[in-house]
Amino acid sequence: MRQSPAAAMSAAPEPVTPASQTLLEVVGLSRRFALGRGRKASQLHAVDDISLRLRRGESVGLVGESGCGKSTLARLLARLIDPSEGSIVFEGRDIATLSARSFAVSGERARIQLVFQDATDSLDPRQTAREAIAEPLVRLRLPGDVEQRVQQLAQEVGLPPELLGRLPHQLSGGQRARVGIARALAPSPSLLILDEPTAALDVSVQAVVLQLLARLRRDRGLTYLFVSHDLNVVRLLCDRVLVMYLGRLVEEGPSQQLFDAPAHPYTRALVSAIPGRAGERIELTGEVRSPIDPDPNACRFHGRCPVGTDACGRSMPLLQVVTPGHRVACLLAQGSV
Ligand SMILES: Nc1ncnc2c1ncn2[C@@H]1O[C@H](COP(=O)(O)OP(=O)(O)OP(=O)(O)O)[C@@H](O)[C@H]1O
Ligand SMILES: [Mg+2]
């Protein structure tokens, strides 16, 4: 007997990840920004009730259109900003409850590093490459000879030692990116959160830096959360993909499955727009909902969804398992309407 999609979903068990393989587990994470005052006060829901798990050594892509909350999620995980709600258990400890001050001196501070989109913005224009790479070693009082570590890190990221005395503006975009990566690697992190690390680079330089990132992950056994607009890059570099839409996680799955058989109508549209992909491109029309005081009882994609029904405007879909490891938050994909 054929099962309905919903029955098949509830019958499919979530694969159990042994605790020792989980590097980071996030439950019910939200971040709201207060806007205006008094009667005009409102809340922008940048990240809304996100739960996810990263396994040790995997590379996970985070995709979604501009403003959907990718960088806010990245900053929350790196504890650069405080969550409004939720837990972030990293290497077995909830770091969401630590104050910014306690986090800054915690062991976890070194073990989670963020690489920003444009190294030009994240590097101090008055700091030489050497100083930039040495800074976390000195700040975190890590043992060992600083100059020797800087030299090793420069070599690891392919930065010629004669460039270590240069200021950011005296380096090319690719060299600045290498400095940013070396600086992030300096405290020997286990998790690298890469927020569009190559978006500011020329295409040919992008490819070289992506190869470097892939090699570093292999050599160091790193876990990556890789934020990108470029789905072709995500497909090449990531084992799994998370798709965000207006602050919420709408789909999550192994890369190949997600790109070959996207289950959420939003992911289908994203995938259809990948350059060079066969098949018709799905154009999204309709209005993008506002992240300010959004309706808690409507799918955020409702109104823009090519296949949505009235029911989607009355109920917020939650992530459910489609096949093991593949989850989607869509009433239609779940066969609920
Ligand atoms: N400090 C802040 N105060 C108020 N709103 C903010 C703040 N930071 C982010 N936002 C809002 O939160 C939402 C998510 O922003 P975020 O930068 O996380 O998106 P993003 O997915 O990284 O976008 P992009 O792809 O353009 O980098 C946006 O609506 C943004 O305007
Ligand atoms: Mg961003």
Q: What does the pLDDT look like over 1-34, one tens digit per residue?
A: 344 333 434 444 455 556 669 999 999 999 999 9
Residue nearest to atom 5 of ligand 1 (CA): 33
Q: DSSP code of 161?
A: G
Gap from CA of 77 to ligand 1 centroid (Å): 15
Q: Is the pTM of this model over 0.75?
A: yes
pLDDT tens-digit series, residues 48-73: 999 999 999 999 999 999 999 999 99
Q: What is the pLDDT of residue 337?
A: 65
Query: Per the domain annotation, does 282 fall within a domain?
Result: no
Read off the pLDDT band of 173 (50, 70, 90). Answer: very high
Among positive and negative, which fits the CA dihedral 117, 121, 122, 125?
A: positive
How large is the average pLDDT for residues 225-249? 95
- Are 328 and 242 in contact by the 8 Å Cβ rule? The answer is no
**Per-chain residues with Cβ under 5 A from ion ligand 2:** 70-71
Find the ligand nearest to 246 CA.
Answer: 1
Minimum-distance ligand 1 atom for the alpha carbon of 291: 29
Q: What is the pLDDT of residue 13?
A: 46
- Are 246 and 65 in contact by the 8 Å Cβ rule? The answer is no
Query: Per the domain annotation, does 195 fall within a domain?
Result: yes
User: What phi and psi values does residue 26 have, to the nearest 5 degrees?
Assistant: -115, 130
Gap from CA of 69 to ligand 2 centroid (Å): 7
Helix (H, G, I), strand (E, B), or coil: what is residue 320?
strand
pLDDT tens-digit series, residues 58-116: 999 999 999 999 999 999 999 999 999 999 999 999 999 988 778 887 888 889 999 98
Query: Per the domain annotation, does 279 fall within a domain?
Result: no
Q: What is the pLDDT of residue 16?
A: 55
The residues with which 253 forms a beta bridge, in sequence order, are 241
Number of domains in the chain: 1
Please name the amino acid found at residue 269: A
**The two three-digit tokens of residue 26, written as one number:** 């996030």
Query: Per the domain annotation, does 308 fall within a domain?
Result: no
Query: Per the domain annotation, does 303 fall within a domain?
Result: no
- Are 238 and 73 in contact by the 8 Å Cβ rule? The answer is no
Residue nearest to atom 4 of ligand 1 (CA): 33
- Are 104 and 141 in contact by the 8 Å Cβ rule? The answer is no
Query: Per the domain annotation, does 55 fall within a domain?
Result: yes
Residue nearest to atom 25 of ligand 1 (CA): 66
Q: What is the pLDDT of residue 10?
A: 41
Range of the domain at 126: 28-34+43-265
Q: Which residues have CB under 6 Å of ligand 1?
A: 33, 44, 46, 64, 66-72, 291
Query: Per the domain annotation, does 88 fall within a domain?
Result: yes
| Separation of first and last alpha carbons in the chain | 21
CATH number reported for the structural domain that contains residue 88 in this entry: 3.40.50.300
How large is the average pLDDT for residues 206-218? 95
pLDDT tens-digit series, residues 287-302: 889 999 999 999 999 9
Q: Within a 13 Å sphere around the CA of 120, how many CA atoms are in the beta-carbon half?
A: 11
Tally of CB atoms within 10 A around 27:
16
Query: Per the domain annotation, does 109 fall within a domain?
Result: yes
High-pLDDT (> 70) share of the chain, %? 93
Gap from CA of 198 to ligand 2 centroid (Å): 13
